[in-house]
């Protein structure tokens, strides 16, 4: 029987093109947590063992969405092990996913966005970063890997070379974003190819650094805020203005339209708000 470490490595390698790195990390963590809880080899784990493990998370008050991610990881892992012949029976085959209430994603209204812009006013790097994250809706891993050569200034487009699942796409940015990017780049005195560089002025900015900025912003502004919030904010604002969901799907780099459908509810919500204001 293949050892767990080797099995996990092979599982990850075979799913590199299908799953984002963050998703693979979450799934591997779920498998390790299950193994630790059951205190037995993965090939000996039963459906009852998995249910007991999940029950422990429910007792501890974990969110259904968090439990759902763990279930998805366990299901995919054991499906793979069964198909590859590492386990005789798949203990996760009958495991039902929990019902998750699909609330609209958290995003900034225009007033909150203005507050954020005011907070970073005068900070060229942070101001440019905020505007780029909002204007393009890129994921943080995509954001830090953007190079200066990826920017098409005349058409206001950026080539995202290493998107989710290693897929490439083009994103747009606004005139306001262009102004802040140029102002920030003119302040730089280095020849590093990356658009945003680390503290050593060599190589790309670390995602952790960006998250730390937003943690500080959140404390100052006292409302929910993260780099990903700006991705949701772009999608929400475009949906509220009536942009077709298929166009939002392309801009965000969603593989399937169903991943974008959640923003349709924001559009309906905006229509109701406008109606209430008029009436």
- Domains of the chain by residue range: 4-83, 110-278
Closest CA to 14 of 71, 81, 72: 81
Q: At CA 126, angle to CA 228 and CA 250, rounded to 5?
A: 40
Q: Which fold has domain 110-278?
A: hpI Integrase; Chain A (1.10.443)
SS3 (DSSP) at 171:
strand
Q: What is the pTM of this model?
A: 0.65
- Give the chain's mean pLDDT: 85
Position 152 scores a pLDDT of 96
Which tens digit of pLDDT belongs to each residue from 198-241?
888 888 998 889 989 998 999 999 988 988 889 889 988 888 88
Which has the minimum average pLDDT: 6-15, 110-119, 194-203, 206-215? Answer: 6-15
Tokens 């799907």, residue located: 249
The secondary structure element, H or E, covering residue 160 is strand 157-160
Tokens 């974990």, residue located: 62
Q: What does CATH list as the number for 4-83?
A: 1.10.150
More confident residue, 179 or 102: 179
Q: How confident is the model at residue 148 (pLDDT cuts 50, 70, 90)?
A: very high
Which has the minimum average pLDDT: 83-87, 155-159, 182-186, 270-274? Answer: 270-274
């Amino acid at each position: 029987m293949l050892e767990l470490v080797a099995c996990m490595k092979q599982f990850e390698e075979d799913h590199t093109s299908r799953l984002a790195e963050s998703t693979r990390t979450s799934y591997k963590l779920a498998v390790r947590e299950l193994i630790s809880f059951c205190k037995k080899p993965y090939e000996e784990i039963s459906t009852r063992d998995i249910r007991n493990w999940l029950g422990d998370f429910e007792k501890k008050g974990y969110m259904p969405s968090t439990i759902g991610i763990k279930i998805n990881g366990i299901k995919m892992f054991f499906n793979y092990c069964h198909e590859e012949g590492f386990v005789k029976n798949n203990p996760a085959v009958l495991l039902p996913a929990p019902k998750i209430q699909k609330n609209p994603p958290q995003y900034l209204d225009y007033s909150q966005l203005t507050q954020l812009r005011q907070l970073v006013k005068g900070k060229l790097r942070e101001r440019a970063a905020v505007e780029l994250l909002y204007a393009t809706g890129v994921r943080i891993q995509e954001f830090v890997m953007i190079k200066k050569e990826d920017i098409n200034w005349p058409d206001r487009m950026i080539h995202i070379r290493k998107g989710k699942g290693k897929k490439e796409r083009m994103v747009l940015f606004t005139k306001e974003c262009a102004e802040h990017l140029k102002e920030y780049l003119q302040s730089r005195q280095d020849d590093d190819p990356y658009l945003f560089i680390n503290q050593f002025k060599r190589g790309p900015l670390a995602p952790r650094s960006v998250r730390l900025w937003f943690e500080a912003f959140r404390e100052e502004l006292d409302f929910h805020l993260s780099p990903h919030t700006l991705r949701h904010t772009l999608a929400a604002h475009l949906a509220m203005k009536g942009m077709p969901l298929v166009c939002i799907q392309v801009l965000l780099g969603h593989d399937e339209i169903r991943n974008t459908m959640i923003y349709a509810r924001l559009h309906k919500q905006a229509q109701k708000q406008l109606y209430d204001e008029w009436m």
